[in-house]
Structure 1
Amino acid sequence: MMETIRVDTDGRGIATLTLARAEKHNAMSGQMIAELTEAAGVLGADPGVRAVILAAEGPTFCAGGDLGWMRAQVDADRATRMAEANKLAMMLRALDRMPKPLIARVHGNAFGGGVGLLSVCDMAIGTPEVLMGLTETRLGLIPATIGPYVAARVGPGRARSVFLSGRRFDADTARDLGLLTRVVPEFALDALVMEEAEAFLSCAPGAVGAAKQLLAGFAAPIDDALLDRTAAALADQWEQPEAVEGIAAFFDRRPAAWVEG
Protein backbone atom coordinates (compact mmCIF):
# COMPACT_ATOMS: atom_id res chain seq x y z
CA MET A 1 0.00 0.00 0.00
CA MET A 2 1.33 3.42 -0.96
CA GLU A 3 1.99 5.76 1.97
CA THR A 4 3.70 8.80 0.45
CA ILE A 5 1.67 9.11 -2.77
CA ARG A 6 -1.88 8.51 -3.96
CA VAL A 7 -3.07 7.29 -7.34
CA ASP A 8 -6.67 7.86 -8.44
CA THR A 9 -8.01 7.07 -11.92
CA ASP A 10 -11.38 8.25 -13.16
CA GLY A 11 -13.72 6.32 -15.43
CA ARG A 12 -12.27 7.94 -18.53
CA GLY A 13 -8.70 6.89 -17.85
CA ILE A 14 -7.30 10.15 -16.46
CA ALA A 15 -5.06 9.25 -13.53
CA THR A 16 -3.94 11.68 -10.83
CA LEU A 17 -0.64 10.85 -9.15
CA THR A 18 -0.51 12.92 -5.96
CA LEU A 19 2.50 13.55 -3.73
CA ALA A 20 1.08 13.03 -0.23
CA ARG A 21 3.70 14.18 2.28
CA ALA A 22 2.13 17.58 2.89
CA GLU A 23 3.52 17.74 6.43
CA LYS A 24 7.04 17.48 4.92
CA HIS A 25 6.26 19.79 1.97
CA ASN A 26 6.32 16.68 -0.24
CA ALA A 27 10.08 16.34 0.12
CA MET A 28 11.19 13.11 -1.53
CA SER A 29 12.21 10.43 0.94
CA GLY A 30 13.61 7.05 0.00
CA GLN A 31 10.12 5.62 0.37
CA MET A 32 8.56 8.25 -1.90
CA ILE A 33 11.24 7.64 -4.52
CA ALA A 34 10.45 3.91 -4.49
CA GLU A 35 6.69 4.48 -4.61
CA LEU A 36 6.95 6.96 -7.49
CA THR A 37 9.05 4.45 -9.43
CA GLU A 38 6.46 1.74 -8.84
CA ALA A 39 3.56 4.03 -9.77
CA ALA A 40 5.24 5.05 -13.03
CA GLY A 41 5.58 1.41 -14.00
CA VAL A 42 2.00 0.52 -13.10
CA LEU A 43 0.45 3.54 -14.82
CA GLY A 44 2.64 3.13 -17.88
CA ALA A 45 1.59 -0.49 -18.31
CA ASP A 46 -2.13 0.07 -17.71
CA PRO A 47 -3.96 0.18 -21.08
CA GLY A 48 -6.89 1.93 -19.42
CA VAL A 49 -4.81 4.98 -18.46
CA ARG A 50 -4.92 7.70 -21.10
CA ALA A 51 -3.17 10.58 -19.29
CA VAL A 52 -1.54 11.22 -15.92
CA ILE A 53 -1.67 14.39 -13.82
CA LEU A 54 1.17 14.87 -11.31
CA ALA A 55 -0.17 16.90 -8.38
CA ALA A 56 0.64 17.48 -4.72
CA GLU A 57 -1.14 17.89 -1.41
CA GLY A 58 -0.64 20.86 0.88
CA PRO A 59 0.87 24.28 0.20
CA THR A 60 4.01 23.03 -1.57
CA PHE A 61 4.43 21.10 -4.82
CA CYS A 62 7.76 19.57 -3.78
CA ALA A 63 10.52 20.91 -1.55
CA GLY A 64 13.10 18.63 -3.19
CA GLY A 65 14.96 15.82 -1.49
CA ASP A 66 14.13 15.02 2.11
CA LEU A 67 16.95 16.47 4.20
CA GLY A 68 16.85 13.53 6.60
CA TRP A 69 17.38 11.21 3.64
CA MET A 70 20.26 13.40 2.42
CA ARG A 71 21.87 13.48 5.86
CA ALA A 72 21.70 9.69 5.96
CA GLN A 73 23.69 9.58 2.71
CA VAL A 74 26.41 11.79 4.18
CA ASP A 75 26.79 9.26 7.00
CA ALA A 76 26.55 6.18 4.75
CA ASP A 77 29.26 4.21 2.98
CA ARG A 78 30.05 4.65 -0.71
CA ALA A 79 28.00 1.66 -1.86
CA THR A 80 24.90 2.91 -0.05
CA ARG A 81 25.31 6.42 -1.46
CA MET A 82 25.59 5.07 -4.99
CA ALA A 83 22.56 2.83 -4.51
CA GLU A 84 20.40 5.69 -3.22
CA ALA A 85 21.55 8.08 -5.96
CA ASN A 86 20.75 5.42 -8.56
CA LYS A 87 17.26 4.93 -7.11
CA LEU A 88 16.58 8.64 -7.56
CA ALA A 89 17.93 8.53 -11.12
CA MET A 90 15.81 5.47 -11.99
CA MET A 91 12.66 7.11 -10.57
CA LEU A 92 13.12 10.15 -12.79
CA ARG A 93 13.79 7.95 -15.80
CA ALA A 94 10.67 5.85 -15.09
CA LEU A 95 8.49 8.98 -15.10
CA ASP A 96 10.29 10.45 -18.11
CA ARG A 97 9.86 7.28 -20.19
CA MET A 98 6.32 6.49 -19.07
CA PRO A 99 4.40 6.00 -22.35
CA LYS A 100 1.54 8.22 -21.20
CA PRO A 101 1.26 12.01 -21.33
CA LEU A 102 2.31 13.43 -17.95
CA ILE A 103 1.00 16.85 -16.91
CA ALA A 104 2.31 18.63 -13.82
CA ARG A 105 -0.10 20.69 -11.71
CA VAL A 106 2.33 23.04 -9.96
CA HIS A 107 1.54 25.27 -6.99
CA GLY A 108 3.53 26.79 -4.16
CA ASN A 109 7.24 26.00 -4.06
CA ALA A 110 9.21 23.61 -6.26
CA PHE A 111 12.83 23.31 -5.19
CA GLY A 112 15.65 20.97 -6.22
CA GLY A 113 14.14 17.60 -6.97
CA GLY A 114 10.75 19.25 -7.34
CA VAL A 115 12.10 21.05 -10.40
CA GLY A 116 13.41 17.70 -11.57
CA LEU A 117 9.94 16.16 -11.25
CA LEU A 118 8.24 18.80 -13.37
CA SER A 119 11.10 18.62 -15.89
CA VAL A 120 10.21 15.01 -16.74
CA CYS A 121 6.58 15.99 -17.38
CA ASP A 122 5.35 16.63 -20.91
CA MET A 123 3.81 19.90 -19.79
CA ALA A 124 3.71 21.81 -16.52
CA ILE A 125 1.03 24.34 -15.59
CA GLY A 126 1.49 26.57 -12.58
CA THR A 127 0.14 29.60 -10.78
CA PRO A 128 1.70 33.09 -10.49
CA GLU A 129 2.60 32.34 -6.87
CA VAL A 130 4.95 29.48 -7.81
CA LEU A 131 8.51 29.89 -6.56
CA MET A 132 11.28 27.62 -7.86
CA GLY A 133 14.95 27.09 -7.29
CA LEU A 134 17.73 24.59 -7.88
CA THR A 135 18.93 25.18 -4.34
CA GLU A 136 21.40 22.31 -4.02
CA THR A 137 24.58 24.42 -4.13
CA ARG A 138 23.36 26.35 -1.07
CA LEU A 139 23.55 23.05 0.80
CA GLY A 140 26.95 22.08 -0.55
CA LEU A 141 25.33 19.68 -3.02
CA ILE A 142 24.77 19.66 -6.79
CA PRO A 143 21.65 19.07 -8.94
CA ALA A 144 23.20 15.92 -10.37
CA THR A 145 20.55 13.28 -11.08
CA ILE A 146 17.94 15.87 -12.03
CA GLY A 147 20.46 17.75 -14.16
CA PRO A 148 19.99 15.92 -17.49
CA TYR A 149 16.23 16.45 -17.38
CA VAL A 150 16.42 20.11 -16.41
CA ALA A 151 19.01 20.75 -19.12
CA ALA A 152 16.90 18.86 -21.67
CA ARG A 153 13.91 20.99 -20.73
CA VAL A 154 15.50 24.45 -20.77
CA GLY A 155 18.78 23.96 -22.66
CA PRO A 156 22.26 23.93 -21.09
CA GLY A 157 22.84 27.63 -21.75
CA ARG A 158 19.73 28.82 -19.97
CA ALA A 159 20.19 26.23 -17.24
CA ARG A 160 23.38 28.02 -16.19
CA SER A 161 21.40 31.04 -15.02
CA VAL A 162 19.71 29.00 -12.27
CA PHE A 163 21.78 25.81 -12.02
CA LEU A 164 24.85 27.26 -10.33
CA SER A 165 23.66 30.08 -8.06
CA GLY A 166 20.82 28.27 -6.29
CA ARG A 167 18.77 31.46 -6.60
CA ARG A 168 15.02 31.33 -6.37
CA PHE A 169 12.92 32.51 -9.29
CA ASP A 170 9.27 33.24 -9.93
CA ALA A 171 6.64 31.72 -12.21
CA ASP A 172 7.26 34.15 -15.06
CA THR A 173 10.95 33.28 -15.09
CA ALA A 174 10.07 29.59 -14.95
CA ARG A 175 7.82 30.05 -17.98
CA ASP A 176 10.51 31.99 -19.84
CA LEU A 177 12.99 29.22 -19.14
CA GLY A 178 10.52 26.59 -20.35
CA LEU A 179 10.01 24.88 -17.01
CA LEU A 180 6.36 25.94 -16.95
CA THR A 181 4.23 25.60 -20.07
CA ARG A 182 1.60 28.05 -18.85
CA VAL A 183 0.95 30.27 -15.84
CA VAL A 184 -2.69 30.68 -14.85
CA PRO A 185 -4.57 32.12 -11.85
CA GLU A 186 -5.03 29.66 -9.02
CA PHE A 187 -8.81 29.55 -9.51
CA ALA A 188 -8.29 28.35 -13.10
CA LEU A 189 -5.50 25.84 -12.43
CA ASP A 190 -7.55 22.67 -11.97
CA ALA A 191 -9.81 23.38 -14.94
CA LEU A 192 -6.91 24.01 -17.31
CA VAL A 193 -4.93 20.99 -16.13
CA MET A 194 -7.99 18.80 -16.67
CA GLU A 195 -8.60 20.40 -20.07
CA GLU A 196 -5.07 19.46 -21.12
CA ALA A 197 -5.56 15.90 -19.86
CA GLU A 198 -8.93 15.55 -21.58
CA ALA A 199 -7.39 16.50 -24.92
CA PHE A 200 -5.68 13.08 -24.94
CA LEU A 201 -9.04 11.30 -24.77
CA SER A 202 -9.42 12.15 -28.46
CA CYS A 203 -6.02 10.68 -29.36
CA ALA A 204 -5.08 7.09 -30.08
CA PRO A 205 -3.26 5.90 -26.92
CA GLY A 206 -0.65 3.89 -28.78
CA ALA A 207 0.10 6.77 -31.12
CA VAL A 208 0.56 9.13 -28.17
CA GLY A 209 3.09 6.77 -26.60
CA ALA A 210 4.89 6.29 -29.91
CA ALA A 211 5.03 10.04 -30.51
CA LYS A 212 6.50 10.58 -27.04
CA GLN A 213 9.12 7.91 -27.68
CA LEU A 214 9.95 9.45 -31.06
CA LEU A 215 10.48 12.88 -29.52
CA ALA A 216 12.81 11.42 -26.93
CA GLY A 217 14.97 10.11 -29.75
CA PHE A 218 15.49 13.59 -31.18
CA ALA A 219 17.34 14.82 -28.09
CA ALA A 220 20.71 13.86 -26.69
CA PRO A 221 20.18 10.45 -25.07
CA ILE A 222 19.79 10.26 -21.31
CA ASP A 223 21.18 6.74 -21.24
CA ASP A 224 22.53 4.38 -18.58
CA ALA A 225 26.04 5.78 -18.86
CA LEU A 226 24.84 9.33 -18.25
CA LEU A 227 22.65 8.29 -15.33
CA ASP A 228 25.54 6.37 -13.80
CA ARG A 229 27.71 9.45 -14.15
CA THR A 230 25.17 11.71 -12.45
CA ALA A 231 24.63 9.20 -9.64
CA ALA A 232 28.38 9.01 -9.08
CA ALA A 233 28.62 12.80 -9.09
CA LEU A 234 25.91 13.04 -6.44
CA ALA A 235 27.53 10.32 -4.33
CA ASP A 236 30.87 12.13 -4.65
CA GLN A 237 29.35 15.39 -3.48
CA TRP A 238 27.68 13.75 -0.49
CA GLU A 239 31.22 12.84 0.60
CA GLN A 240 32.50 16.41 0.51
CA PRO A 241 32.95 18.55 3.65
CA GLU A 242 30.72 21.19 2.07
CA ALA A 243 27.78 18.77 2.03
CA VAL A 244 28.37 17.86 5.67
CA GLU A 245 28.47 21.54 6.60
CA GLY A 246 25.54 22.60 4.43
CA ILE A 247 23.17 19.95 5.71
CA ALA A 248 24.29 20.46 9.31
CA ALA A 249 23.70 24.21 8.96
CA PHE A 250 20.20 23.58 7.68
CA PHE A 251 19.29 21.42 10.67
CA ASP A 252 20.99 23.84 13.07
CA ARG A 253 19.03 26.73 11.49
CA ARG A 254 22.20 28.77 10.93
CA PRO A 255 24.03 30.11 7.87
CA ALA A 256 26.54 27.71 6.34
CA ALA A 257 30.21 28.59 6.75
CA TRP A 258 30.48 30.02 3.22
CA VAL A 259 27.55 32.45 3.52
CA GLU A 260 28.70 36.07 3.48
CA GLY A 261 26.79 38.94 5.08
Structure 2
Amino acid sequence: MASSIQIADHGGVRRIALNRPQVHNAFDDGLIAELTEALTLAGAESTVRAVVLTGEGASFSAGADLNWMRGMASASEAENREDSLRLATLMRTLQYLPKPTIARVNGAAYGGGVGLVACCDIAIGVDSARFGLTEVKLGLVPAVISPYVIHAIGLRQARRLFVTGELFDAATALQIGLLHRCVPADQLDNAVDAALALLAKAGPVAQAEAKQLALRMAGADAAQAEAIDRDNAALIARLRVSSEGQEGLSAFLAKRAAAWCATD
Protein backbone atom coordinates (compact mmCIF):
# COMPACT_ATOMS: atom_id res chain seq x y z
CA MET A 1 0.00 0.00 0.00
CA ALA A 2 1.32 3.46 -0.90
CA SER A 3 2.53 5.65 1.94
CA SER A 4 0.41 8.63 2.92
CA ILE A 5 3.53 10.76 3.43
CA GLN A 6 6.86 11.31 1.73
CA ILE A 7 10.04 11.95 3.72
CA ALA A 8 13.28 13.45 2.42
CA ASP A 9 16.38 14.66 4.26
CA HIS A 10 18.81 17.32 3.09
CA GLY A 11 21.44 19.14 5.14
CA GLY A 12 19.78 18.47 8.49
CA VAL A 13 16.32 19.40 7.22
CA ARG A 14 13.61 16.75 7.18
CA ARG A 15 10.90 17.43 4.63
CA ILE A 16 7.64 15.63 5.36
CA ALA A 17 5.01 15.91 2.64
CA LEU A 18 1.42 14.77 2.93
CA ASN A 19 1.10 12.43 -0.04
CA ARG A 20 -2.58 11.99 -0.88
CA PRO A 21 -2.85 14.58 -3.69
CA GLN A 22 -5.79 12.78 -5.29
CA VAL A 23 -7.93 13.78 -2.25
CA HIS A 24 -6.11 17.06 -1.57
CA ASN A 25 -4.10 15.45 1.27
CA ALA A 26 -7.19 14.87 3.37
CA PHE A 27 -6.78 13.08 6.69
CA ASP A 28 -7.65 9.45 7.25
CA ASP A 29 -6.49 6.98 9.90
CA GLY A 30 -3.46 5.97 7.84
CA LEU A 31 -2.19 9.50 7.27
CA ILE A 32 -2.68 10.45 10.91
CA ALA A 33 -0.76 7.40 12.12
CA GLU A 34 2.08 7.80 9.62
CA LEU A 35 2.49 11.51 10.21
CA THR A 36 2.46 11.13 14.00
CA GLU A 37 5.16 8.45 13.78
CA ALA A 38 7.26 10.48 11.34
CA LEU A 39 7.15 13.57 13.53
CA THR A 40 8.01 11.58 16.65
CA LEU A 41 11.04 10.08 14.91
CA ALA A 42 12.15 13.48 13.57
CA GLY A 43 11.95 14.93 17.06
CA ALA A 44 14.16 12.17 18.45
CA GLU A 45 16.89 12.16 15.78
CA SER A 46 19.92 14.32 16.57
CA THR A 47 20.79 14.76 12.89
CA VAL A 48 17.49 16.53 12.20
CA ARG A 49 17.82 20.26 12.82
CA ALA A 50 14.46 21.39 11.39
CA VAL A 51 11.27 19.94 9.93
CA VAL A 52 9.41 21.29 6.91
CA LEU A 53 5.80 20.12 6.58
CA THR A 54 4.07 20.49 3.22
CA GLY A 55 1.63 18.84 0.83
CA GLU A 56 2.02 17.13 -2.52
CA GLY A 57 -0.10 18.42 -5.37
CA ALA A 58 -2.30 21.49 -5.37
CA SER A 59 -3.35 21.53 -1.69
CA PHE A 60 -1.74 21.57 1.73
CA SER A 61 -4.57 19.60 3.36
CA ALA A 62 -8.32 19.60 2.85
CA GLY A 63 -9.06 18.32 6.35
CA ALA A 64 -11.11 15.15 6.83
CA ASP A 65 -11.31 12.53 4.09
CA LEU A 66 -14.86 11.78 2.85
CA ASN A 67 -14.61 8.05 3.61
CA TRP A 68 -13.23 8.89 7.05
CA MET A 69 -16.21 11.17 7.60
CA ARG A 70 -18.59 8.39 6.58
CA GLY A 71 -16.98 6.25 9.25
CA MET A 72 -17.43 9.02 11.82
CA ALA A 73 -21.12 9.30 10.99
CA SER A 74 -21.78 5.62 11.64
CA ALA A 75 -19.38 5.11 14.58
CA SER A 76 -20.34 5.07 18.25
CA GLU A 77 -19.52 7.92 20.60
CA ALA A 78 -16.69 5.87 22.15
CA GLU A 79 -15.23 5.09 18.72
CA ASN A 80 -15.46 8.75 17.74
CA ARG A 81 -13.68 9.74 20.94
CA GLU A 82 -10.79 7.36 20.22
CA ASP A 83 -10.65 8.61 16.63
CA SER A 84 -10.47 12.21 17.82
CA LEU A 85 -7.76 11.38 20.34
CA ARG A 86 -5.54 10.08 17.53
CA LEU A 87 -5.88 13.39 15.69
CA ALA A 88 -5.28 15.27 18.94
CA THR A 89 -2.09 13.27 19.51
CA LEU A 90 -0.85 14.26 16.05
CA MET A 91 -1.46 17.95 16.71
CA ARG A 92 0.13 17.81 20.15
CA THR A 93 3.18 15.99 18.77
CA LEU A 94 3.70 18.72 16.18
CA GLN A 95 3.04 21.57 18.61
CA TYR A 96 5.63 20.38 21.13
CA LEU A 97 8.15 18.85 18.73
CA PRO A 98 11.64 19.65 20.11
CA LYS A 99 12.81 20.87 16.69
CA PRO A 100 11.92 24.03 14.76
CA THR A 101 9.06 23.40 12.34
CA ILE A 102 8.04 25.21 9.17
CA ALA A 103 4.67 24.86 7.46
CA ARG A 104 5.26 25.19 3.71
CA VAL A 105 1.66 25.95 2.78
CA ASN A 106 1.55 25.16 -0.92
CA GLY A 107 -2.22 25.45 -1.27
CA ALA A 108 -5.58 25.24 0.47
CA ALA A 109 -5.82 24.25 4.13
CA TYR A 110 -9.14 23.45 5.79
CA GLY A 111 -10.11 22.11 9.20
CA GLY A 112 -7.31 19.89 10.47
CA GLY A 113 -5.04 21.34 7.79
CA VAL A 114 -5.37 24.72 9.51
CA GLY A 115 -4.49 22.93 12.75
CA LEU A 116 -1.22 21.67 11.25
CA VAL A 117 -0.31 25.19 10.10
CA ALA A 118 -1.10 26.61 13.54
CA CYS A 119 1.07 24.00 15.27
CA CYS A 120 4.20 24.90 13.30
CA ASP A 121 6.68 27.48 14.57
CA ILE A 122 6.89 29.25 11.21
CA ALA A 123 4.18 29.29 8.54
CA ILE A 124 4.88 30.44 4.98
CA GLY A 125 2.16 30.16 2.37
CA VAL A 126 1.40 30.90 -1.25
CA ASP A 127 -0.74 33.95 -1.90
CA SER A 128 -3.37 31.84 -3.69
CA ALA A 129 -4.05 29.59 -0.68
CA ARG A 130 -7.50 29.45 0.89
CA PHE A 131 -8.32 28.54 4.48
CA GLY A 132 -11.38 27.60 6.47
CA LEU A 133 -12.62 26.28 9.80
CA THR A 134 -15.92 25.07 8.42
CA GLU A 135 -16.95 22.52 11.06
CA VAL A 136 -20.04 24.43 12.25
CA LYS A 137 -21.55 23.97 8.79
CA LEU A 138 -21.65 20.25 9.63
CA GLY A 139 -23.09 20.79 13.09
CA LEU A 140 -19.64 20.21 14.60
CA VAL A 141 -16.80 22.28 16.09
CA PRO A 142 -13.02 22.43 15.48
CA ALA A 143 -12.49 20.83 18.88
CA VAL A 144 -9.09 19.12 18.95
CA ILE A 145 -7.35 21.82 16.89
CA SER A 146 -8.87 24.68 18.88
CA PRO A 147 -6.06 25.24 21.44
CA TYR A 148 -3.47 25.53 18.68
CA VAL A 149 -5.54 27.71 16.36
CA ILE A 150 -6.47 30.07 19.20
CA HIS A 151 -2.83 30.42 20.22
CA ALA A 152 -1.93 31.18 16.60
CA ILE A 153 -4.61 33.73 15.70
CA GLY A 154 -5.95 34.91 19.06
CA LEU A 155 -9.30 34.54 20.73
CA ARG A 156 -11.02 37.42 18.94
CA GLN A 157 -10.31 36.09 15.46
CA ALA A 158 -11.00 32.50 16.48
CA ARG A 159 -14.44 33.35 17.84
CA ARG A 160 -15.43 34.86 14.50
CA LEU A 161 -14.04 32.09 12.33
CA PHE A 162 -15.28 29.28 14.57
CA VAL A 163 -18.89 30.47 14.49
CA THR A 164 -19.12 31.62 10.85
CA GLY A 165 -17.21 28.75 9.24
CA GLU A 166 -16.27 31.21 6.50
CA LEU A 167 -13.45 30.73 4.03
CA PHE A 168 -10.62 33.26 3.98
CA ASP A 169 -7.67 34.01 1.75
CA ALA A 170 -3.93 34.04 2.35
CA ALA A 171 -3.84 37.80 2.88
CA THR A 172 -6.32 37.42 5.74
CA ALA A 173 -4.35 34.46 7.11
CA LEU A 174 -1.29 36.72 7.18
CA GLN A 175 -3.20 39.56 8.84
CA ILE A 176 -4.57 37.41 11.67
CA GLY A 177 -1.30 35.58 12.33
CA LEU A 178 -1.95 32.14 10.88
CA LEU A 179 0.76 32.80 8.28
CA HIS A 180 4.03 34.62 8.96
CA ARG A 181 4.75 35.22 5.27
CA CYS A 182 2.61 35.17 2.14
CA VAL A 183 4.44 34.89 -1.19
CA PRO A 184 3.79 34.08 -4.87
CA ALA A 185 4.04 30.37 -5.65
CA ASP A 186 7.34 30.75 -7.49
CA GLN A 187 8.89 32.34 -4.39
CA LEU A 188 7.69 29.77 -1.84
CA ASP A 189 10.82 27.63 -1.77
CA ASN A 190 13.10 30.67 -1.56
CA ALA A 191 11.10 31.97 1.40
CA VAL A 192 11.30 28.60 3.16
CA ASP A 193 15.05 28.38 2.45
CA ALA A 194 15.55 31.85 3.93
CA ALA A 195 13.81 30.77 7.14
CA LEU A 196 15.89 27.58 7.26
CA ALA A 197 19.08 29.63 6.87
CA LEU A 198 18.13 31.65 9.94
CA LEU A 199 17.36 28.49 11.92
CA ALA A 200 20.71 26.94 10.96
CA LYS A 201 22.59 29.75 12.74
CA ALA A 202 21.09 28.99 16.16
CA GLY A 203 22.11 26.39 18.74
CA PRO A 204 19.79 23.37 18.58
CA VAL A 205 19.53 22.98 22.35
CA ALA A 206 18.80 26.68 22.77
CA GLN A 207 16.17 26.48 20.02
CA ALA A 208 14.39 23.60 21.74
CA GLU A 209 14.45 25.46 25.05
CA ALA A 210 13.36 28.74 23.44
CA LYS A 211 10.40 27.04 21.79
CA GLN A 212 9.23 25.46 25.03
CA LEU A 213 9.82 28.75 26.87
CA ALA A 214 7.58 30.64 24.46
CA LEU A 215 4.84 28.02 24.73
CA ARG A 216 5.08 27.88 28.50
CA MET A 217 4.96 31.66 28.92
CA ALA A 218 1.89 31.77 26.67
CA GLY A 219 0.13 29.26 28.90
CA ALA A 220 0.45 26.38 26.41
CA ASP A 221 1.95 24.00 28.93
CA ALA A 222 2.64 20.51 27.58
CA ALA A 223 1.63 18.89 30.85
CA GLN A 224 -1.89 20.30 30.53
CA ALA A 225 -2.30 19.70 26.80
CA GLU A 226 -3.15 16.00 27.06
CA ALA A 227 -5.99 16.65 29.52
CA ILE A 228 -7.34 19.41 27.27
CA ASP A 229 -7.17 17.03 24.31
CA ARG A 230 -9.20 14.42 26.18
CA ASP A 231 -11.91 16.96 26.97
CA ASN A 232 -12.02 18.21 23.39
CA ALA A 233 -12.10 14.68 21.97
CA ALA A 234 -15.06 13.92 24.21
CA LEU A 235 -16.79 17.09 22.98
CA ILE A 236 -16.43 16.34 19.28
CA ALA A 237 -17.42 12.70 19.83
CA ARG A 238 -20.62 13.83 21.55
CA LEU A 239 -21.43 16.27 18.77
CA ARG A 240 -20.78 13.75 15.99
CA VAL A 241 -23.40 11.36 17.35
CA SER A 242 -25.89 14.12 18.23
CA SER A 243 -28.94 14.68 16.03
CA GLU A 244 -27.49 17.93 14.66
CA GLY A 245 -24.09 16.39 13.97
CA GLN A 246 -25.69 13.41 12.24
CA GLU A 247 -27.82 15.72 10.09
CA GLY A 248 -24.81 17.88 9.22
CA LEU A 249 -22.62 14.94 8.23
CA SER A 250 -25.45 13.29 6.29
CA ALA A 251 -26.22 16.50 4.42
CA PHE A 252 -22.56 17.05 3.55
CA LEU A 253 -22.07 13.51 2.29
CA ALA A 254 -25.32 13.70 0.29
CA LYS A 255 -24.33 17.14 -1.09
CA ARG A 256 -27.52 18.79 0.10
CA ALA A 257 -28.32 21.68 2.44
CA ALA A 258 -28.60 20.81 6.11
CA ALA A 259 -32.04 21.10 7.69
CA TRP A 260 -31.11 24.25 9.62
CA CYS A 261 -30.06 26.21 6.52
CA ALA A 262 -32.38 29.09 5.62
CA THR A 263 -34.26 28.72 2.36
CA ASP A 264 -35.79 31.40 0.17
TM-score (norm 2): 0.95
1:203-241: CA deviation from partner (whole Å, max 9, x where unpaired): 111111111111111122352221111111111111112
CA–CA distance in 1 between the matches of 2:245 and 2:58?
A: 28
CA contact (8 A) 1:2 1:35 kept: no
1:155-201: CA deviation from partner (whole Å, max 9, x where unpaired): 11221121111000111111111000011111101111122112222
Q: Report how far residue 52 of structure 1 moved.
A: 0.8
Give 2:13's aligned residue: 14
Q: Report how far residue 109 of structure 1 moved.
A: 1.2
CA–CA distance in 1 between the matches of 2:181 and 2:156?
A: 21
Q: Report how far residue 73 of structure 1 moved.
A: 2.0
CA–CA distance in 2 between the matches of 1:159 and 1:205?
A: 32
CA–CA distance in 2 between the matches of 1:245 and 1:67?
A: 15
Give 1:62's aligned residue: 61
1:70-108: CA deviation from partner (whole Å, max 9, x where unpaired): 221221122211111111111100011111111011122
Give 1:94's aligned residue: 93
1:24-68: CA deviation from partner (whole Å, max 9, x where unpaired): 111110111111110111000010001111110111111012232
Aligned to 1:223, what secondary structure does the other structure show?
helix
Structure 2 counterpart of 1:73, which letter? M
CA–CA distance in 2 between the matches of 1:144 and 1:25?
A: 22
Give 2:261's aligned residue: 259
Aligned to 1:175, what secondary structure does the other structure show?
helix
Deviating more after overlay: 92-101 vs 221-230: 221-230
Deviating more after overlay: 195-204 vs 224-233: 195-204
* Percent identical residues: 42
Matches within 5 A, 1:27-106: 27-106=26-105
Unaligned runs of at least 5 residues, structure 2: none
Matches within 5 A, 1:1-261: 3-10=3-10, 12-220=11-219, 221=221, 222-261=224-263
TM-score (norm 1): 0.96
Aligned to 1:163, what secondary structure does the other structure show?
helix
Aligned to 1:62, what secondary structure does the other structure show?
coil
